[in-house]
Homo-oligomer: A and B are copies of this chain.
Amino acid sequence: MTTDRRSPRPRLTDVAAVAGVSMKTVSNVMGGYAPVSEATRAKVLAAVDQVRYRPNLSARNLARGRSGVIALTVPRLDLPYFASLAGSVVEAAGEHGWFVLMHQTGGDLDGERRALLGDHPQRLDGMILSTQWLEAEEIAARPDPTPLVVLGDHPVPGPVPHVGIDNHAAGLAAAQHLLATGRRRIALIGAPSPGAEPGRAQGLIDGVRAAGLPVLPELTRPITANTGDAGESATARMLAEVDEVPDALFAVTDWVAMGAIRALHARGLAVPRDVAVMGFDDIPYARSVSPSLTTIAPDREAVARSAVEALEAQVGGVLPGDDAGPAAPDGEHFAPFELVVRESTGTGI
Which of B59, B104, B255, B265 is A290 in contact with, Cβ under 8 Å?
B265
A91 smallest CB distance to B (angstroms): 9
Question: How far apart sit A261 and B291, CA to CA, in the bound complex (Å)?
Answer: 10
Contact A84:B78 (CB < 8 A) given known A55-B122, A285-B255, A287-B228: yes
Contact A284:B87 (CB < 8 A) given known A5-B145, A99-B101, A123-B57: no
A262 at the B interface (CB under 8 A) = yes
A143 at the B interface (CB under 8 A) = yes
Question: Which residues from chain B contact A284 at a C-beta distance below 8 Å?
Answer: 78-79, 228, 255
Minimum CB distance partner of A1 in chain B:
B143
Minimum CB distance partner of A146 in chain B:
B5
A252 at the B interface (CB under 8 A) = no
Copies of this protein in the assembly total 2
Tell me the chain A residues, 82-98 only, with Cβ under 8 Å from chain B.
Answer: 83-84, 86-87, 90, 94
Binary contact track A318-349/B, C-beta < 8 Å → 1, others 0: 00000000000000000000000000000000
Contact A289:B289 (CB < 8 A) given known A58-B68, A90-B102: yes
A54 at the B interface (CB under 8 A) = yes
Interface centre among A83, A261, A290 (most CB of B within 10 A): A290
Minimum CB distance partner of A6 in chain B:
B145
Chain A interface residue count, CB cutoff 8 Å, equals 55
Question: Which residues from chain B contact A120 at a C-beta distance below 8 Å?
Answer: 54
Minimum CB distance partner of A228 in chain B:
B288
A76 smallest CB distance to B (angstroms): 7
Q: Is the CB of A99 within 8 A of B69?
A: yes
Minimum CB distance partner of A259 in chain B:
B288
Question: Which residues from chain B contact A261 at a C-beta distance below 8 Å?
Answer: 290
Q: Is the CB of B83 within 8 A of A258?
A: no
Q: Is the CB of B54 within 8 A of A122?
A: yes
A61 at the B interface (CB under 8 A) = yes
